[in-house]
Amino acid sequence: MPFWESVNGLELREFRPGVRSTAELGQGLNMVCMEIGPGLQDTGHEHPFEQCGIVTEGRMEMFIGDQRRMLAPLEAYFIPAGVRHGWKTFGEPVKVLDVSGKPPQA
Amino acid sequence: MPFWESVNGLELREFRPGVRSTAELGQGLNMVCMEIGPGLQDTGHEHPFEQCGIVTEGRMEMFIGDQRRMLAPLEAYFIPAGVRHGWKTFGEPVKVLDVSGKPPQA
């Protein structure tokens, strides 16, 4: 569907433990609304495509390469291809609208 | 820079008449914060890459193919490649965080 209602009110499904999401998967762009539960973390990973997004509810810590920041609603991030990044949530769930660019599937 | 403060408070520069923006231009993803002035419109165009985003302030009408919607803050859109789309603003400026995916430059 081309339009989404408020990203903070979308119906989400469990994507992996503690993370619920809904997505629009394109040929080269994936747009994902994600709710990450409290007290979770991704200690770091990297991938060969760029990724960016914006926090829409709650606060989360994120690191991208050697930079680290606590992100509040309406703060955004841009992760260059190949750069290690990760995140951590605290006492509240966090919602993020995340976009990754990846090469069209073969 | 990997992190942006609140997208509604970023320093923007004139991009074209009535539109001010700041951008993070990657290899395959462009993340742009745009402020579109009141009373403007794009009657429609299309391009061979996907584009998506979220309104962060104000309201704007957007059409994507044969669907049309008034978008309020935190509402999102996804424009498939090659599909005609356009927008219209009314009595207030509108802020959008927009992401387009485009093939790496030759």
- ipTM for the predicted complex: 0.94
Residue B91: its pLDDT value, please? 97
Q: Is some CB atom of chain A closer than 8 A to the CB atom of B101?
A: yes
**Do β-strands A60-64 and B94-101 pair in parallel, antiparallel, or remain unpaired?**
unpaired
Q: Is some CB atom of chain B closer than 8 A to the CB atom of A34?
A: no
In the predicted structure, residue A94 carries a pLDDT above the cut 80: yes
Query: Pick from A39, A13, A31, A69: which is nearest to B80 by CA?
Result: A31
Q: Are the beta carbons of A2 and B65 separated by less than 8 Å?
A: yes
pLDDT tens digits, A34-82: 999 999 999 999 999 999 999 999 999 999 999 999 999 999 999 999 9
d(CA A36, CA A16): 10
d(CA B7, CA B28): 21
Closest partner CB to B7 (pick from A7, A24, A76): A76
Q: What are phi and psi of A3, to 5 degrees?
A: -120, 140
d(CA A71, CA B2): 12
Tokens of A7: 């990203």
d(CA B39, CA B29): 29
Q: Is some CB atom of chain B closer than 8 A to the CB atom of A82?
A: no
Coil, strand or helix at B44: strand
The distance of B1 to chain A (nearest Cα, Å) reads 8
Q: Are the beta carbons of A31 and B64 separated by less than 8 Å?
A: no
How many beta-carbon pairs under 8 angstroms link A with B? 131
In the predicted structure, residue A103 carries a pLDDT above the cut 70: no
Closest partner CB to A76 (pick from B29, B31, B74): B31
Closest partner CB to B3 (pick from A29, A77, A103): A77
Residue A106: its pLDDT value, please? 42
Query: Pick from A86, A91, A87: which is nearest to A38 by CA?
Result: A91
Q: Which residues, at least 6 apart from B4, have a Cβ–Cβ distance to it below 8 Å? A: A75, A76, A77, A78, B10, B24, B33
Closest partner CB to B50 (pick from A28, A64, A103): A28
Q: Is some CB atom of chain B closer than 8 A to the CB atom of A70?
A: no
Contact A77, A97 (CB under 8 A): no
Residue B102: its pLDDT value, please? 80
pLDDT in tens, chain B (106 residues): 799 999 999 999 999 999 999 999 999 999 999 999 999 999 999 999 999 999 999 999 999 999 999 999 999 999 999 999 999 999 999 999 999 998 545 4
CATH superfamily, domain B43-106, is Jelly Rolls (2.60.120.10)
- Domain residues of chain A, as ranges? 33-76+95-106
